[in-house]
Structure 1
């Protein structure tokens, strides 16, 4: 096995940097520390656990390492742990078939994380809803359904809370009691929390699991560890096993049983690898274990580092030479020491492979043995010689080894419950509660109406403040002001993310229980969309500047009405709108050009930069207005074709003459104007073989019309022409006039 190429290259570059560097330089110390961490992470990513321990220990000899910097190391340990503890079947999940079957059986009103009744649902940015308890206790780092990152700052979904309170008032009250237990624990009123949790356990069997885990936290706060362990061991539903393991590990850690707590933390991550609190705890424990404890440990570190890590040896020699006040070193002698160190380092560079290759080859050999890899890899976790403390090294080896651990859920030894196999144990599925049925007499479509359009929700989205609106309604409100329409809370971050994901639970409830009303609402939406998709009737008009076929036209869209217009063009799939110049009497001119949207770049505040290019020309037949922006019924324009061969030949000659005249004019422009045209409109189009290939004629005519310094009204008259000959003659007159003016 070898390191990843990127990691190896980085190590070589940074190693070269250290040769000849000043050992007294602080920045060099930091770079050296970074080099060691890179090496340690590279080994950890390659699953070389033993070697990674050595290098992380050496890194801590130079400078403290933050717990979060051990993330790759924890992943390496966890991979080995899961291979050993899980056996042939992984601990961390089920097969896709089992997951699909379980998903089909699960109640939609259950939390996807703890599988308890939602009670007080909170909708995440991804659109999935979880119970308030799971988010408050930081029990998930990613959404269980789509793996999107969880911020945990969202508020309770107001609509869903109101619906569940109306449909299932008793179950909501039970959920609130468990939430109250957690609130009492946060306020350190542990005795009251124990009493309330006990009442919940005795009165409601369905809430036993989560209530016991909350009570375990209260018992831990009271330092009643035996009772806390008993509560973590009684978890009748496998869905709570990760939280139960985490809670047990916390109790063991509080009791000072670091060995056992580390094992259980790892077991928790094996069940749920995205359990954030467990990973943070493992990082902290490993950081404490690898950190040198006293001066004796530091001496041992120095000695073993010189023997085991040749890249560090020269640096240590120089540092030791400088650190002896009783024997001052002459500057010349110091240079000799440095030179000798550099020479020694260069020699050791050649022996680098011989030092680290045994560890890598061992890892490669372990991996090649298939299932024996994980067992051997864990059993060979060394006592970390860099630590210089045999007791501490043995402790680390004992903590990371799982050779003697049984694959069980949780058991403190005092529980009357037998150990349950996680991977090799019984495949009996936990008893699922019956699917909740919403009482038909309590179903009311008015409860699921958008407060903005006063119609049934269509594509409902929930803001971080907990309010729900139709997606289109919310976007229109945010066009005017980045605040919630109801509570006026700032939605600047929400707007900047542009992640207006549907609230899946609400959408599911509407489709399942209000299918008739939803069908009518869908039909209305589709009719509105079809009306907006017509490119001849009620075409949206952007009143701004001149646009021409084939010529790019970038736009900065900031007005609310045009934000809405651009969004509708994208949503309907037409990706087109009309562009006309303003007219003081009619509102906008009688002629214009369609613009085709190539891309839209949204800015954090809702504005956008729209990249468009000119399409068909049109003539306005009638004018209208829709939601603040202009519309028009139009007819498309095209050049009349020349069929006579002689006339076509003369037209071709005129085109070639105008093209050559335009090329000379463009080349003779001042460099400043020349560059501005290139920046905004690009280079002059190439001469076309067939000048009648498109209804709009050669692209060079439109490019010239766009760059020539003439009045927009004159440009408009050329845009409206339907014969190529007229257009070429007009452009020729303009070029002749411009070339007659002295070039200042």
Structure 2
């Protein structure tokens, strides 16, 4: 048995973590031991100790399969070091760039928050922000650029349905931009169908008519790549890097093309540049993970490493690989910017920073490795504080290295010898100019809800692309789980309850229709104030008996009561009345108001409402609003006993009935007692001041709720305004129940 530990070389298993590695009969690590190494490697990577993390990941991968996504922490570490090495990707500058993007989008609501281009086929995601359909289909981001909401769920065809109202408005207001966007969409559709020649003609004509159209040039680069004309594709991308140095998608596409050419080293550089500009670019993150995985993976899956070799960070497999590398390094091949359609060596483009991973990553594809430059570059980067000691990382020296070239990025003038201080700072792609809606084309009728036929208030957009007032849509979903217009299923939308306002439509109304919006807002406030009155038109739930201070859980499934509960929550009162039914009047004259403590919504729209009894009331008048009962009410309070002698007699009666109630409850069978405790909780303690509250002692109501008597009899006790009479009634019930029990 051998124990691996941190000794300055090779494999690091921290003694303070208690990791202990035991070797089996074939001197191979078990799955459990591999997991420990991966955990340690993750820890090192999160601490920015890149060299040591690389070594451990490499060792772990020689003892069993590891998925590329398990290298996520390592990829983040590599990206952090990349940013540190190139100060043009400094975090503060990136943050400033993102703030600038937000400012641009607030100025021009018709720009996509992701690509900052005109909103072509605008799609509103669950958080309420709107993006190009193209950006969503290509998975160009994983979190909303404006609110950080996770957008990975927006992946189905239905969820990519364009916002109908917004699409019509953009086509009406900006016909030229909409036409260009349609051509771009047609080109990309041709590329998906692999009609590259037709797409090339279309994209070339677009660029000829408007050389400044960067999206058209990006599409043409993709078409060139589809035709295997990598030289032309890279030329277009290089021009985009000069004109839009902060556009992450350009660097991602550049990395993909270089990857197809077999230039793994430089493709990694492109992906890192992309992630440095946009850390949420999921596709680039996955590509980095795959490249690092390929670099660290052993050439032979059956390689076994003994404890001695593992502790030194080497193996026969590694020795043979290094020997082959050194042999081929004696005859290096020339480097090409893009001289050949299919390069035989790792490409080093003028605009691409030399990779931080070794040319050994592309050894099998290219047969080239810079020997002296590899060692020198490693020493330079190893001396950086964030990478650990210079004497560590035997595996890193053999499988990974850092290029000796200086940190030069994209340059305006194409001069690759410019100093770092002359570099173009990393900024987001040049945004489109702010657009204004033509006044003659602005109509308030374009912003009317198709359900209430009024100006949108708190507009929300469904996954199928239709927009409604939030309250209007919720009322429709109370009755059916389909879109009111197209009848598409909204079951998932209802289950998620992500009714976030469509900010672009809400913002357009406030900006261009301020007077109409103010009038609509006042109307809404008046409606809410009317619904907030606790004595006038109080919503009534006709169901069961309720009592002050006693819990009353409810299962709400009828559409009218869904609406009622939602209004109670929206107004902030969180209160409604509870009465039992009456054949003649609809509901009885006395009841108890309930206060909502919490609402748990079920996926199909039903809800479980946790309520607590609040105050008793008497009904003065009845009415119906939107299908549910309402009433004008008057609250009831117990009449207080003022004289001392009467109060003493009342206290004596109170104590006597309380003791009698405790005796009755204790004599119940365990089964009944358990059910009562589960539903109503324990019996409240005796109170010192029995007239402190308008409803009297809480234990009286708890006892009345659990006593097995007719609801009509309970109702008569609820309506009493004298504590003495209520105690007498309860005593009468308890005496009767005890006599029945004794028989």
1:233–1:410 contact (8 Å) kept in structure 2: no
2:577–2:593 contact (8 Å) kept in structure 1: yes
**Partner of residue 741, structure 1:** 740
**Partner of residue 531, structure 1:** 530
Deviation at 1:49, TM superposition (A): 1.0
Deviation at 1:420, TM superposition (A): 10
2:268–2:291 contact (8 Å) kept in structure 1: yes
2:97–2:428 contact (8 Å) kept in structure 1: no
Q: For the residues of structure 2 that align with 1:374 and 1:615, how far apart are their CA atoms?
A: 71
Gaps of 5+ in 2: 1-5, 7-11, 315-379
Cα gap change, 1:9/1:431 in structure 2, threshold over 3 Å: closer, same or farther?
closer
2:61–2:297 contact (8 Å) kept in structure 1: yes
Q: For the residues of structure 2 that align with 1:736 and 1:441, how far apart are their CA atoms?
A: 83
**Partner of residue 336, structure 2:** none
Q: For the residues of structure 2 that align with 1:25 and 1:730, how far apart are their CA atoms?
A: 84
2:52–2:392 contact (8 Å) kept in structure 1: no
Q: What SS class does the counterpart of residue 717 from structure 2 fall into?
A: helix
Q: For the residues of structure 2 that align with 1:239 and 1:717, how far apart are their CA atoms?
A: 80
The reply on whether 1:111 has 2:116 as its aligned counterpart is no
Q: For the residues of structure 2 that align with 1:642 and 1:205, how far apart are their CA atoms?
A: 92
Instruction: Tell me the alpha carbon deviations over residues 60-82 of structure 1, each in whole angstroms, 9 at most, x when there is no partner.
Output: 11211111111111111111111
- Aligned residues: CA RMSD: 3.2
Cα gap change, 1:29/1:493 in structure 2, threshold over 3 Å: closer, same or farther?
farther
Instruction: Tell me the alpha carbon deviations over residues 70-104 of structure 1, each in whole angstroms, 9 at most, x when there is no partner.
Output: 11111111111111112693377133895388447
1:639–1:697 contact (8 Å) kept in structure 2: yes
Instruction: Tell me the alpha carbon deviations over residues 155-178 of structure 1, each in whole angstroms, 9 at most, x when there is no partner.
Output: 111110000011111110101111
* Greater CA drift, 149-158 or 546-555: 149-158
1:249–1:262 contact (8 Å) kept in structure 2: yes
Number of residue pairs the alignment of both structures matches: 663
Deviation at 1:469, TM superposition (A): 0.7
**Partner of residue 154, structure 2:** 152
**Partner of residue 607, structure 2:** 608
**Partner of residue 72, structure 1:** 73
Deviation at 1:435, TM superposition (A): 2.2
**Partner of residue 177, structure 2:** 171
Q: For the residues of structure 2 that align with 1:518 and 1:130, how far apart are their CA atoms?
A: 25
**Partner of residue 632, structure 1:** 631
Q: What SS class does the counterpart of residue 541 from structure 2 fall into?
A: strand
Cα gap change, 1:105/1:708 in structure 2, threshold over 3 Å: closer, same or farther?
closer
1:681–1:703 contact (8 Å) kept in structure 2: yes
In the superposition, the TM-score normalised over structure 1's length comes to 0.83
Deviation at 1:152, TM superposition (A): 3.2
**Partner of residue 35, structure 1:** 36
2:494–2:603 contact (8 Å) kept in structure 1: yes
Q: For the residues of structure 2 that align with 1:25 and 1:643, how far apart are their CA atoms?
A: 91
Q: What SS class does the counterpart of residue 397 from structure 1 fall into?
A: coil
**Partner of residue 697, structure 2:** 698
* Greater CA drift, 225-234 or 300-309: 300-309
**Partner of residue 214, structure 2:** 209
1:92–1:273 contact (8 Å) kept in structure 2: no
Instruction: Tell me the alpha carbon deviations over residues 632-661 of structure 1, each in whole angstroms, 9 at most, x when there is no partner.
Output: 111111111111111011101110111111
Deviation at 1:429, TM superposition (A): 9.4
Deviation at 1:217, TM superposition (A): 1.0
Q: What SS class does the counterpart of residue 220 from structure 1 fall into?
A: helix
Q: What SS class does the counterpart of residue 94 from structure 2 fall into?
A: coil
1:443-454 to 2 correspondence within 5 Å? 443-454=442-453
1:138–1:152 contact (8 Å) kept in structure 2: no
Cα gap change, 1:485/1:428 in structure 2, threshold over 3 Å: closer, same or farther?
closer
Deviation at 1:406, TM superposition (A): 2.5
2:105–2:113 contact (8 Å) kept in structure 1: no
* Greater CA drift, 29-38 or 49-58: 29-38
1:74–1:279 contact (8 Å) kept in structure 2: yes
**Partner of residue 329, structure 1:** none
Q: What SS class does the counterpart of residue 741 from structure 2 fall into?
A: coil
2:101–2:113 contact (8 Å) kept in structure 1: no
Cα gap change, 1:489/1:423 in structure 2, threshold over 3 Å: closer, same or farther?
farther
Instruction: Tell me the alpha carbon deviations over residues 11-52 of structure 1, each in whole angstroms, 9 at most, x when there is no partner.
Output: 989957x77x987999x9332332222121111112111111
Cα gap change, 1:517/1:577 in structure 2, threshold over 3 Å: closer, same or farther?
same
**Partner of residue 219, structure 1:** 224
**Partner of residue 187, structure 1:** 193
Q: For the residues of structure 2 that align with 1:10 and 1:496, how far apart are their CA atoms?
A: 47
Instruction: Tell me the alpha carbon deviations over residues 85-133 of structure 1, each in whole angstroms, 9 at most, x when there is no partner.
Output: 1269337713389538844774111111111111211111110111112
**Partner of residue 296, structure 2:** 290
Cα gap change, 1:382/1:599 in structure 2, threshold over 3 Å: closer, same or farther?
farther
Gaps of 5+ in 1: 3-7, 310-370
Cα gap change, 1:93/1:743 in structure 2, threshold over 3 Å: closer, same or farther?
farther
**Partner of residue 491, structure 1:** 490
**Partner of residue 620, structure 1:** 619
